[in-house]
Structure 1
Amino acid sequence: MSPHKAPDSSRRSDRSRRAIYDAALALVGETGYARTTIEGIAARAGVGKQTIYRWWPSKAAVLMEAFLDLAARQAEEAAGAGEGGDGGHGIPDTGDLAADLKCVLRATVDELNDPVTEAPTRALAAEGIVDPVLGAQFVERLLDPSMQLYVTRLRAAQEAGDLRADIDPRIALELLIAPLTHRWLLRTLPLTHAYADTIVDYTLGGLSATP
């Protein structure tokens, strides 16, 4: 008889983590963040709540990690499919700054409107306002990496002479991102590709009438 093979605990842990990720994202989408509980996530994932508490200190931490995992998988799928946007590798640099920014802002519009990611993104953004620790993690792990992509592209445009040398790229990128975020958070008007294109045109062209 062949010797008994011990279960692979790492594979079991990976399966449990994936089930917990999926359960957390699904429940937030179905019932909202406030009604999502550790007990509910555990029941949905088919694990004991002690398992979740052993790996994470709170439901916010579970959701943060689940969302980061989802974002990484979506970036890999987009890169493998050769889709537009930054694909997780940077903003395109075709030499046409306006076209490149419109491309990535349109991709951002699609992400913000995606029902799979909208609920967890809203939940993390809202909870980060009242939880400074989570808010700092949200900025550091989710926002700053994508913001740095804009800074890199805008600095390249400065070096190419397409933008003024004296602008601060960090402030410039906020002119692009803030309007999208404002409209998305408040749900004031539809978030569309046309709106994204207009933001780029207004930002690069300025609002003052030229002589």
Structure 2
Amino acid sequence: MPPRTPAQPRRRESSRIAILDATRDLLGEVPYAKLTIESIAARAGVGKQTIYRWWESKGAVVLDALLAASESAEGTGIELPDSGDLTRDLKAVLRATTAEFADPSFSAPIRALMIEIIADPALAALYQEKLQQPTHQAILTRLRSAQHAGQLRPDADLTLVIDMLYGPLTQRWLLHSTTLDDAFADALVDGVLHGFA
């Protein structure tokens, strides 16, 4: 009789999924400050040590839970639309970003993560590796395509373009200074591209 395939990897994966699901559910029910590893473990039906085997901190669990939700909604990997019209594509991306920032279920945990990142270098490195760098690279790829197509100046500093697109958006979001909407996203794209076209 052939040996049975061990079920351990399947159990591990189902536990990981249960933890990420529990984290997202709890984020919708309690403020980030009241979310605990104990409450996540209880909701997921696992021991605390199971969580600490995979994640070093609550912030790391929350980051992975948000990334997993984003991947299941959009598919794996980050890729910007490329219709051939850079203005249209960037407006679509910035509109989606402002919509996320305006959604309390997304905005509240990300805002709390930003606070933790300031004091936690390990979480900051994780955030850069899993979210900031892949996003930056995807935008850079789209901007390079536009540059090769003659839609951006050949000498345009593409990293500066990204900073100018996302800097004002992030500042307004962090400071709650004004409503984030499609009109703001469109004006931001128009203003930045005017300087680099």
Aligning the two structures, in what range does the TM-score lie when normalised by the shorter sequence?
0.7 to 0.9
Residues 27, 105 of structure 2: 8 Å contact kept: no
SS, match of residue 151 in structure 2: coil
Give the TM-score, by structure 1 length.
0.82
TM-score norm. by structure 2 comes to 0.87
Computed over aligned residues only, the root mean square deviation of the Cα atoms, in angstroms, reads 2.1
Q: Shift of residue 89 of structure 1?
A: 4.8
Distance 1:92 1:51, change over 3 A: closer
Higher relative contact order by CA 8 Å / sep ≥ 6: 1 or 2?
A: 2
Instruction: Find the structure with the greater CA-based Rg.
Output: 1
AA at the equivalent of 1:97? L
CA distance in 2, matches of 1:68, 1:92: 19
Q: Structure 2: which 5+ residue stretches go unaligned?
A: none
Amino acid of the structure 2 residue aligned with 1:99: R
How far the C-alpha of 1:7 sits from its partner, in A, is 8.0
Deviation at 1:52, TM superposition (A): 1.6
**Residues 39/176 of structure 1: CA separation in 2 closer, same or farther (3 Å cut):** same
Superposed displacement of residue 192, structure 1: 0.3
Task: Kindly tell me the number of residue pairs found equivalent between the two proteins.
Answer: 192
Which whole-Å deviations, capped at 9, do the CAs of 1:104-150 have from their partners, x for residues lacking one?
11121222233442233222222111111211211221011111122
Q: Percent identity over the alignment?
A: 52
Q: Equivalent residue for 2:124?
A: 135
**Stretches of 4+ moved more than 3 A in 1?**
none
After superposition, the C-alpha distances for 1:62-109 in whole angstroms (9 at most, x for unaligned) are 222222222211112xxxxxxxxxx85522222222111111111212
Paired with 2:92 and 2:114, the residues of 1 have a C-alpha distance of: 24
Corresponding letter in the other structure for 1:12: R
**Structure 1: stretches of 5+ with no match in the other structure:** 77-86, 207-211
- Secondary structure, counterpart of 1:52 in structure 2: helix
Residue 163 of structure 1, CA deviation: 1.4
CA–CA distance in structure 1, aligned partners of residues 64 and 151 of structure 2: 38
Q: Which residue matches 2:85?
A: 96
